[in-house]
A and B are shown apart, each in its own frame.
Chain A
Amino acid sequence: MSAPQWNNKVVKWVDDRLPVISMLHHSAYEYPTPKNLSYMWNFGSLAGFVLVTMILSGIFLVMNYTPHTSMAFESVERIMRDVNYGWLIRYIHMNGASMFFIVVFLHMFRGLYYGSYKAPREMLWWIGILILLAMMATAFMGYVLPWGQMSFWGATVITNLFSAFPIIGDPLVTWLWGGFSVDNPTLNRFFSLHYLMPFIILGLVVLHVWALHSVRSNNPTGVEIKTPQDSIPFHPYYTIKDLFGMGVFLIFFCGFVFFAPDYLGHPDNYIPANPLVTPPHIVPEWYFLPFYAILRSIDFTIFGIPAKLLGVLAMFASIVILFVIPWLDTSKVRSSKFRPVYKWFFWLFVVDTFILGYCGAKAPDDYFMGVPGLKVIVMGQLSTLYYFAHFLVVMPLVGKMERPKPLPASISESVLKEGANA
């Protein structure tokens, strides 16, 4: 691509010395985008928007937050009651975390459905997984900051997971805590890291977009851009579409912030942390529930590996396995639109993650949806089994055995055909 000619003298002067304007022009203006992207392609820019929202609201929270066990809870209450618009800033930050995960999960399911992880987009997919991991660490540490009961006990249970590792386990946990239990040193370092991580995420996002722009966007057909007819410039076509999506999303986001700000949270976190009393039912935030269910569903020993360690390994594996799906999926076709068999398994997988989420929220000995005889723990075990089988068995086998539908010759052809049928 040739550098655009700038008419404005100042712009030209700057761009000749640091071609940042050309770079932005390439990536947000003329970036050739498949002309058939659906609304499922809105979630990337939405995630970026939420990241900026989190950083901004976080910076303003820090102006009034005190990272000390004796004052953290009260400083958050002061933000809620006394600081001008403190309630708004905190509710934006609190619900923003949930919005972030909603958007990113949808973004990932989109990638799974349309095979966006396949060559040549493996690096793009990997960086995405790294972003997810960094978000999880950030959200976990952020949730500790208000120093309520769930903050404290969530931190205790999750940091204790590391004690499952043989030999290094206990010293590792002491090191994470900076003491012999979750306490002030823990709160301080979580605060420090909670401030740092979002900027690491920002860096990863830059790499993510860089990778995207070098391999180009996938699209609902999964067929690559072949001729200029297949693409349109990003601006104004997709800037306007993203903006429209952002408007719809903001209605949803603000709905929570203004009308149900505590709906996604747990009431116990409005009780100050008490190291001597464990709440009867500890649950993580909703976005961790499926992973928590996988952790808990391992209550047995295999090859002498204790259940606790196995559970931890399974939970980490549930994300790490995403790194290798570009090779586990043996199908030559990207988009599930043309994969009559795999399509059904995809939806089964989506349902499976919801079942896992439900199981993570309930006590292991409850009955699943009140079905007599069906314990939550058993259902959790079955869905954990499917979670892994989906990647390890379904993906390789269905890819080999299924007969895909004929692919359109090009994006353009598929668009014209759909237009003719409409």
Chain B
Amino acid sequence: MSQSVHSSGEHQPDENRRDFLTLATTAVGVVGAGCALLPFVDSMNPSKDVLALASVEVNLSNIPVGQAVKVMWRGKPVFIRHRTEREINEANEVALNELVDPQSDDARVEKKEWLIVVGVCTHLGCIPMGTATGEARGDYDGWYCPCHGSHYDTSGRIRRGPAPKNLEVPTYTFLTDTSVRIG
């Protein structure tokens, strides 16, 4: 603009117009390229068939009190524990302010005797031990993650170790007293 050979002011509007056109073209180009990129980025998100597999029904009648099972849901394990009276009490007795990620047991279960949580450590995604009978259940009687040493309690809440959050509670609905749909 300032290095223009035409020093007379009458060419000024023309050059402004040219600058504007250049800017506008660039802007449209950038926005257009961004929009063209979106479908590609979104193609990497979960596809319809993956989303369609997003729920699973589980029969609870063959899980005796005191035992737990692992079921697959969206490619990862869900722990279903048929809790004993003692385990329920333990989960209710802790003061909330002692918890890393404070949450009452009530807020984490629909029926007291059934604890249903996603079996993926909230640290870096390992599967905690303690579901199969006889496995180490950590210092708080729930689960223990061997990868970097996280301890979860009988409500699946993080009590000690590097994991920042409680085991996630998936959305689920009891279809009958002995069957539940996860997802």
Contacts and interface: CB of A to CB of B under 8 A. Distances in A.
Contacts of A275: 72, 75-77
A308 B100 CA distance: 14
B2 interface: no
A160 B50 CA distance: 19
B127 A178 contact: no
Interface stretch (B10-18, B27-35, B102-110, B141-149): B141-149
Given A174-B45, A276-B70, A365 B124 contact: no
A277 interface: yes
Interface residues of B, number: 25
Interface in B63-81: 70, 72, 74-77
Nearest to A312: B124
Interface string A297-335: 001000000111000000000000000000000000000
Nearest to B161: A299
Interface stretch (A41-49, A180-188, A263-271): A180-188
B134 interface: no
A278 interface: yes
A296 interface: yes
Interface string B115-131: 00000100111110000
Interface in A28-85: none
B141 to A, nearest CB: 20
B37 interface: no
Contact of B125 (A156, A174, A281): A156
Interface string B125-168: 11100000000000000000011110000000000001010000
A157 interface: yes
A30 to B, nearest CB: 41
Contact of B44 (A159, A175, A180, A306): A175
Contact of B76 (A175, A180, A365): A180
A174 B126 contact: no
A245 interface: no
Contact of A179 (B46, B120, B125): B46
Given A275-B75, A275-B76, A175 B127 contact: no
B47 interface: yes
Q: Is the contact region of chain B dominated by helix, strand, or loop, or is it mixed?
A: loop
A394 interface: no
Contacts of A282: 126, 147
A90 B95 CA distance: 56
B126 A153 contact: yes
Given A181-B75, A276-B127, A364 B149 contact: yes
Interface in A85-137: none
A275 B54 CA distance: 17
A215 B98 CA distance: 61
A401 to B, nearest CB: 39
A280 interface: yes
B124 A183 contact: no
Given A175-B44, A189-B44, A296 B148 contact: yes
A185 B120 CA distance: 19
A197 interface: no
Contact of B123 (A180, A182, A308): A308
A414 to B, nearest CB: 49
Contact of B46 (A159, A174, A278, A280): A174
A59 B32 CA distance: 36
A296 B161 CA distance: 12
B147 A157 contact: yes
A179 B75 contact: yes
A179 B127 CA distance: 18
Nearest to B74: A180
B148 A364 contact: yes
Contact of B164 (A156, A157, A177, A306): A306
B172 to A, nearest CB: 15
A159 B125 CA distance: 9
8 contacts: A157-B147, A174-B46, A175-B45, A179-B74, A180-B74, A275-B75, A276-B77, A280-B146
Given A276-B127, A308-B164, 11 more contacts: A156-B125, A178-B46, A179-B46, A179-B74, A180-B76, A181-B75, A183-B75, A185-B46, A276-B77, A277-B127, A281-B146
